[in-house]
Structure 1
Amino acid sequence: MTDDAAPDLRASDADRERVADILRDALAEGRLDMEEFGERLDATYKARTYGELAPITRDLPTAQGAAVPAVSLSKDPERDGNWTGRIIGGDDEGTSTWAVAVMSGFQRRGHWTAPRRFNCFAFWGGGEIDLREANFADREIVINAVAVMGGIDVVVPPGVEVVVRGVGVMGGFDHREEGVPGEPGAPRVIVTGFAFWGGVGVQRKLPRAEKQRLREERRREKLERKEQRRRELGASLPGLHDHLDLHGSREERGTRRRDDR
């Protein structure tokens, strides 16, 4: 295989996801604005070959400052759906262990490591703790949320078990995601704390990459249905033309008979 042929090779879903991860990191670091991120992410999921993927991240550095490789030609094994690679364990205490919002807001989202215990406080403000793309310092983590006249949202991906133990006074904790069994090996997230004239919500959402993949699948299915209808209509047109020709011939014969009279 020559290098000249490499750009024409078909890219896999894993290749597109690697490029999408680089774009998300660049957005979080401020290297891309939301408009640029959206345009490049859309181009990523539309790309079919390595040659189409390569320019998307060519001007973006890695966290170490080295140039980003266009696309890896080595085929890494696809994820088998287990959580082994996302539960770090050991002495890792997480990327961040606390957050405070006083008449303001905070966010923990994207690629980060959720610690064994995360403490957060919101007063006349709000916060978001998004675990959809996070790694986990342990198989069980605790989010201790205190909301006073404010709100805190916890977002978990499908497959994670959620236990809610918080107490609300003229406020409340969202228990809707409790009781959903977790996948084998998935982490357990315990949400505890206190809410006074405020609330702590728990939502279960698909990761952004999965949502984008599903949107792309629906778009392809829609195009396929449209193409199928076009082919069916094309197949029926010859018979329709024959019917119109026969009908026209009968009208012409009737006109000639009337003229003969």
Structure 2
Amino acid sequence: MTAQSPEPFPHPVPPGELRASHDDREAVVEQLRDAAAEGRIDLDELDARLEQALTSKTYAELAVLTADLPRREPPGSRQPPLVLKGGLHGASRGPGRWEVPGHVIAHGGLGGVKLDFTRAECRLPEVTVEAYGEAAGVTIVIPDGWAADTGALDPGIGGLKDRTTSDRLPGTPLIRLTGSGGMAGVVVRHPNRWERRKLNGNPVRD
């Protein structure tokens, strides 16, 4: 018998195309009901949007239903900051699953820091990353479809390398960078070829 070749692993999809959960749909339903109670949308609009919310399959489909409503404080916005210190041996977070707080502080130190958001769980519209390159630098990796705002970061001597695109998908967070490049600098980018291969070879399982 001829051995069957294994099926190829699925490629990572853009964050906006990720499948929404029952909790995601319920959160949007609750926001729509609150908006109707506050007089922001009328009952006809509420009914139409509720029907769409309950049948939405992706984050992007849900995002358009609340795009014209004030943002509610999402889960994780009140979490304490995540602090990473490179020290002598370096520090990292990711690429495995981890919950993103609203504020991350990274000190490169002598060993460097790598902050990888490619498989992070984030429902926040914005995340502030306070990066200090110091002697060994800070590297930040964000998924395709996420965007970074680097205007508030002082490049310092080491500089800032922004290798991201501006093609932000609906429903994805904005990474807002502050801090200083220090001696070694700060890099923000999307996954490189080696990281993409590793992601493809280790698909996310529920």
Q: TM-score range by the shorter chain?
A: 0.5 to 0.7
Q: Distance in 1 between matches of 2:129 and 2:145?
A: 18
Counterpart of 2:145?
Answer: 159
Question: 1:108 Cα deviation (Å)?
Answer: 0.5
CA 1:199–1:190 in structure 2 vs 1: closer, same or farther (change >3 Å)? same
Q: Pick one of 115, 124, 136 that aligns with 1:129.
A: 115
Residue number among 86, 92, 98 corresponding to 1:107 in the alignment? 92
Question: TM-score with structure 2 length normalisation?
Answer: 0.56
Tell me if structure 2 keeps the 8 A contact 1:93–1:137.
Answer: no
Q: Cα deviation per residue 1:102-121 (whole Å; 9 max; x = unaligned)?
A: 22211110110111110111
Aligned twin of 2:160: 173
1:185 to 171, 183, 192: 171
Aligned residues: 139
**Superposition RMSD in Å:** 3.6
Q: In structure 1, what is the Cα distance between the partners aligned to 2:135 and 2:61?
A: 36
Correspondent of 2:180 among 178, 184, 194: 194
Identity of aligned residues (%): 20
- Matched AA of 2:143: P
Q: Which runs of 5+ in 2 are unaligned?
A: 1-6, 13-56, 64-72
> How far apart, in 1, do the equivalents of 2:160 and 2:62 lie?
30
CA contact (8 A) 1:94 1:137 kept: no
Structure with greater contact order relative to length (CA < 8 Å, sep ≥ 6): 2
Bigger helix share: 1
Runs of 4+ off more than 4 Å: 91-96, 206-210
* 3-state DSSP of counterpart to 2:200: helix
Retained in 2: the 8 A contact 1:113–1:137?
no
Partner of 1:219: none
Spell out, residue by residue over 1:71-109, the C-alpha distance to the aligned partner (whole angstroms, 9 max, x if none). Answer: xxxxxxxx6464969xx9235545961111122211110
Max radius of gyration: which structure? 1
Distance 2:141 2:156 in 1: 23
